[in-house]
Amino acid sequence: MNVQKGIIRKALNLGWHELPLKSLLQERYHHTVHIANDCHVAALAEYAYGSGREEDNLLVIKISQGIGCGIILNGAPYYGDGFGAGEIGHITVTYDGPRCACGNVGCLEALASTRALIQNVRLQVYKYPDSSLYNIPPNEIGLPELISAFQKGDAFVTDLISQCGKYIAKSIAYLVGLLNVHHIVIAGDFEGFGRYFLDVIRHELPYHVLPVMAEHAELTYSPLGENIVLLGAAALVLVEELDLP
**Residue 244, CA distances (Å) to 60, 224, 237, 241 in order:** 22, 21, 9, 8
pLDDT bin (cut points 50, 70, 90) of residue 126 is: very high
pLDDT bin (cut points 50, 70, 90) of residue 41 is: very high
The pLDDT value recorded for residue 13 is: 66
**Of 52, 89, 90, nearest in space to 71 by CA:** 52
Beta bridge partners of 144: none
- N residues, the chain: 245
Cβ atoms of 16 and 10 closer than 8 Å: yes
Q: Interior CA angle at 84 toward 221 and 197, to 5°?
A: 20
Convert the pLDDT of each residue in 204-232 to its tens digit.
999 999 999 999 999 999 999 999 999 99
To the question of domain 39-226 being in CATH 3.40.50.620, the answer is no
Q: Average pLDDT over the chain, rounded to whole? A: 90
Residue-range domain boundaries for the chain: 39-226
The pLDDT value recorded for residue 177 is: 96
pTM: 0.89
Per-residue b/e over 18-47, b at no fewer than 16 CB within 10 Å? ebebbeebeeeeeeeeebbbbbbbbbbbbb
The pLDDT value recorded for residue 9 is: 62
Query: Residue 181: is its pLDDT beyond 70?
Result: yes
